[in-house]
Chain A
Amino acid sequence: MTLPAVRVALAGALALAGCRTAAPDVPALVTSLTPESRAEITGAVSRALNGAPVTLADDALTREDTLVVERARHRSLDGTPSTGRDTGRPERFRLVQSGGRCVLVHEASGRRSTLEATTCRPR
């Protein structure tokens, strides 16, 4: 085998390896939200946001692949929101299936958390 041929073969092998490691992200939904998977998702969201405490819905990520997280509503005694004129933005997460695994992606940072105790299916 000539040197150029070796180079071509090597490049092809690397390309194949690259394809195997970069499985595409497929939008996904949680198939069954157990206490374990809920705790796992809550923990992944909290870690992505520096450990802040997070409350999720009982059906989180079972109907939509996007999870929007914002500051819990704090209200004054008269029931109105404490601030009420918020200029910030919420945090967004996406659930994807990647290589058969469920992965939670934090959109702002790109941080990916593989969910071992959670089962999901393509949306």
Chain B
Amino acid sequence: MTNRLLFVLAACSVVGLAACGGSNTTQSGSSTTYTPGVFPASSSLAAQCASPRTGTDPTTGKPYPDTPGSSTTENFWLRSWTNELYLWYKEVPDLNPGSYATADYFNLLKTTATTPSGNPKDKFHFTYPTAQWVALSQSGVEASYGAQFVVLASSPPRLVVVAYTQPGSPATTASLSRGAQVLTVDGVDLVNASDSASVATLNAGLFPAAAGSTHSFSILDLGAASGRPVTMTSANVTETPVQNVGTIPSSTGTVGYMLFNDHIATAEAELVSAFAQLAAANVNDLVLDIRYNGGGYLDIASEVGYMVAGPAATAGKTFEKTVFNDKYPTTDPVTGQALTPVPFHSTSQGFSGPQGQALPTLSLPRVAVLTSGNTCSASESIMNSLRGVGVQVVQVGTTTCGKPYGFYPADNCGTTYFSIQFQGVNALGFGDYPDGFSPANTLTSPGVTVPGCSVGDDFTHALGDPGEARLAAALGYFAGQPCPAAAAVAPPPGVGRSAASADGVAPKSPWRENRIYRR
């Protein structure tokens, strides 16, 4: 205790009077005064950088605006920018910018409140190096094998399985399919290895940073007694965001199914085709599988909502309204435009096809969505916005991620900051689901309760197979059957996992944070 106090005192003497009780902080090239409660316009503080960039800004085509400054001037900008735009700016402590390193200071510029379940109210406060953030790609193209791995256990004994694959990818060439378990990567035991070098090998092999990276694996296919050797070379794989579209005959009529994995631009044309196919088949119900869909373009979510519900339920209705902090009740503070709700789009928006074409619709009074913790943001908007216009949403799976929020990422001095700035609410004005949506019978439900069944992911069946546990439960719900007991959930064979653990993280990142951990 004594040592800790001495350290704090020493830190104050190093930072100086300005940081530990003084009010003036003078920087090279700029002079800024910290006055508690007084926030100069962030525009007057921008681009005063400890390490100014030179050259052309790829987002504007103009020279970088950076001028010499310091970490303190960068903190002053963060302080004012947060006070202007952060959704919960009144809950942010007003701290002296001269007292902190910039990364530490940003991390403090958020609410420390918790949700009713005890989770942090703000779970989405982060940065990216701007040079990474501005990178572009052809829609749906990522360097990968085309296999979506799900990490069911990230520390020993680890469990990594294939959730789905992309058509025409190295993964399908290697005959990988859902439920296949990864046993080794480049000779390293994925299940048990615990040293740092092995963990680095596992991450590098599972999540290649670029195309052209070759790695060897031992893969245990579903039903196989032992692993088989597989070698794959990563490529710039084009994702197929809508897959397995089909119909299922049932006692209640014809049920449509589609796997919708990503709200990327190319999804628009695929969704239009999928809904047209199901409309032609005169489906009575729909199961929308968004268990691996973390969101994307909100306008595409709106199109999905329309194609599910149809014109009668959605005409003139709000899909989602954006709400900023109380300084901006009518105007978007970033674009300067009047705040107008996103409607249910009845025509295509031109993401990946012609703009203005009438969308097909199923005009259904209810829809079942298959969910997990990877169901996030724009995917949750589909659920919330359909509920807002009276469509019954049946949720089968596990609790969604709880992200009714959005950002306008902002660059300053080479770092792009993400701080929650707006919340999406539906036609009823509801958008409070920071703990996600949970099926009604979830044992420890942290989220907003939705009719449906809590069911873990079932890797023993293909997605779209009526025998797959979540789809089977949805079909049963439509037929008036009770939800299955949790024990009915099927983890991969030979794996002694509980039902709850058969639901994992589906990392899709081309930006290679480690997904596998030592402990």
Residues in chain A within 8 A of chain B (CB atoms): 45-46, 49-60, 66-92
Bound Cα distance A59, B169 (Å): 12
Q: B467 → chain A, closest Cβ, in Å?
A: 26
Contact mask for chain B residues 107-149; partner A; CB cutoff 8 A; 1 contact, 0 none? 0000000000000000010101000111111110111000000
* Residues in chain B near residue A69, CB distance under 8 A: 136-139
- Residues of B contacting A52 in the complex (Cβ-Cβ under 8 angstroms): 58-59, 134-136
B141 touches A55 (CB 8 A): yes
Asked whether, in the complex, the Cβ of B294 is within 8 Å of the Cβ of A80, the reply is yes
| Interchain residue pairs A-B with the least CB separation, the first 8 | A84-B377, A84-B295, A80-B294, A50-B61, A79-B507, A85-B406, A75-B509, A52-B58
Q: Could you count the A-B residue pairs with CB atoms below 8 Å apart for me: how many are there?
A: 171
CB distance from A118 to the nearest CB of B (A): 16
Assess whether A49 is in contact with B236, with CB atoms less than 8 Å apart: no
Within 8 A of A (CB), among B403-433: 403, 405-407, 409, 418, 424
Would you call B142 and A80 a contact (CB within 8 A)?
Answer: no
Give the secondary structure class of B's interface.
loop
B493 contacts across to A, CB distance below 8 A: none
Q: How long is the Cα–Cα vector from A81 to B509 in the complex, in angstroms?
A: 8
A48 to B141, CA, bound (A): 19
Known: A74-B128, A76-B126. A60 touches B57 (CB 8 A): no
Binary interface encoding of chain B residues 282-321 relative to chain A, with 1 for a CB under 8 A from any of its CBs, else 0: 0000000000001111110000000000000000000000
Given A80-B294, A80-B374, A85-B378, is A53 in contact with B138 using a C-beta cutoff of 8 Å? no
Q: How far is the CB of B414 from chain A (nearest CB, A)?
A: 15
Question: CB < 8 Å: which of B349, B381, B508 contacts A85?
Answer: B381
- Contacts A50-B61, A84-B377 known; A79 to B424 CB distance under 8 Å? no
Roughly how many angstroms separate A42 CA and B225 CA in the complex, as a whole number? 46
Query: Chain B interface (Cβ within 8 Å of chain A)?
Result: 56-61, 124, 126, 128, 132-139, 141-143, 211, 235-238, 262-266, 294-299, 322, 349-352, 373-374, 376-378, 381, 401, 403, 405-407, 409, 418, 424, 505-511, 513, 515
- Which residues of A sit under 8 angstroms from B507, Cβ to Cβ? 75, 77-79
Given contacts A79-B506, A80-B374, A84-B294, contact A51 B56 (CB under 8 A): yes
Q: Is the CB of A58 within 8 A of B136?
A: no
B58 lies within 8 A of A50 (CB): yes
**Nearest chain A CB to B232 CB, angstrom units:** 15
User: What are 19 of the A-B contact pairs (CB < 8 Å)?
Assistant: A50-B60, A52-B135, A54-B138, A56-B138, A57-B237, A58-B211, A68-B266, A69-B137, A69-B139, A77-B507, A78-B507, A79-B294, A79-B506, A80-B377, A82-B126, A82-B418, A86-B296, A86-B378, A87-B322
B137 near A55 (CB under 8 angstroms)? yes
How far, in angstroms, from A55 to B378 measured CA to CA in the complex?
24
Question: Chain B residues near A68 (CB, 8 Å)?
Answer: 138-139, 265-266, 351-352
A85-B237 Cα distance, complex, nearest whole Å: 23
B377 touches A81 (CB 8 A): yes
Chain B residues with Cβ below 8 Å from A55 are 135-138, 141-143, 236
A41 to chain B, nearest CB (A): 10
CA of A49 to CA of B135, assembled, Å = 11
Given contacts A51-B61, A55-B141, A83-B418, contact A72 B135 (CB under 8 A): yes
Q: In the bound complex, do residue B351 and residue A75 qualify as a contact, i.e. CB atoms below 8 Å apart? A: no
Closest residue on chain B to residue A59 by CB atoms: B238
Q: Which residue of A lies closest to B424 (CB)?
A: A85
Indicate if the CB atoms of B141 and A79 lie closer than 8 Å. Answer: no
Q: Closest B residue to A38 by CB, please name it.
A: B236
Expressed in whole angstroms, the Cα–Cα distance for A73 and B148 within the complex equals 14
User: CB-CB < 8 A to A90: which residues of B?
Assistant: 139, 265, 351-352
Q: CA of A81 to CA of B411 in the docked complex: distance in angstroms? A: 18
Compute how far the CA of A99 lies from the CA of B254 in the bound complex, rounded to whole angstroms. 52
From the candidates A50, A53, A58, name the one contacting B235 in the complex (CB within 8 A): A58
8 Å CB contact of B136 from A54, A60, A87 = A54
CA distance A72 to B511 in the complex (A): 9
Taken together as a complex, chains A and B put the C-alpha atoms of A79 and B373 apart, in Å, by: 10
CB-contact partner of A73 in B405, B418, B508, under 8 A: B508
Q: Are B374 and A79 in contact (CB under 8 A)?
A: yes
Give me 12 other A-B pairs in contact (C-beta within 8 A), A81-B376, A84-B377, A86-B378 excluded: A45-B136, A57-B236, A68-B139, A71-B133, A78-B401, A79-B507, A80-B376, A81-B377, A83-B377, A83-B409, A90-B265, A92-B350
Closest-by-CB residue of A relative to B150 is A79
Do residues A57 and B138 form an inter-chain contact, with CB atoms below 8 A? Answer: yes
A88 to B57, CA, bound (A): 19
Q: How far is the CA of A66 from the CA of B352 in the complex (A)?
A: 8
Q: Which of A51, A74, A79, A84 contacts B505 (CB 8 A)?
A: A79
Tell me the complex Cα distance, A60–B235, Å: 13
Establish whether residues A57 and B296, one from each chain, have CB atoms under 8 Å apart when the complex forms.
no
Report the nearest B residue to A66, measured CB to CB. B352
Q: Given B235, B264, B376, B418, which contacts A70 in the complex, CB threshold below 8 Å?
A: B264
In angstroms, Cα B61 to Cα A52, docked, is 9
What are the residues of chain B within 8 A of A71 when measuring CB–CB? Answer: 133-137
CB-CB < 8 A to A49: which residues of B? 58, 136
Report the minimum CB–CB distance from B507 to chain A (whole Å): 4
Residues of B within 8 A of A56 (CB): 137-138, 141, 236
Residues of chain B lying within 8 A (CB to CB) of residue A75: 294, 507-509, 511
Interface contact B405-A85, CB-CB below 8 Å? yes
* Neighbour of B351 across the interface among A51, A53, A89, CB < 8 A: A89
Q: How long is the Cα–Cα vector from A54 to B58 in the complex, in angstroms?
A: 11
Which B residues touch A77, using CB under 8 A? 507, 513, 515
CA distance A86 to B263 in the complex (A): 9
Question: From B57, which residue of chain A is reached at the shortest CB distance?
Answer: A50
